[in-house]
Structure 1
């Protein structure tokens, strides 16, 4: 989805997006054990971008 303008999301909307993301990750076999590990996986060196 592409928006032509910025939209501020509510905490409820962000929570729905977060839960849907976790559900998709689970469906493809990725297991997130904690919120801390989820945050760590967003770091560049965890994604192959750090050399």
Structure 2
């Protein structure tokens, strides 16, 4: 769950996604208060996997 930094609600929707060197950058809008915030999602791999 990704909480809104403005109101703390756990419900948001993705309005824009861009790939970046670390993973995925996503622009989100809170469904409760309408606040906008960004997240960066990265993939973690376990040693020996891939």
Tell me which of the two structures has the higher relative contact order, counting C-alpha pairs closer than 8 angstroms and 6 or more residues apart. 2
Q: TM-score w.r.t. structure 2 length? A: 0.23
Report which of the two has the higher share of helix: 1
Bigger-Rg structure (1/2): 1
Report which of the two has the higher share of strand: 2
Q: TM-score w.r.t. structure 1 length? A: 0.23
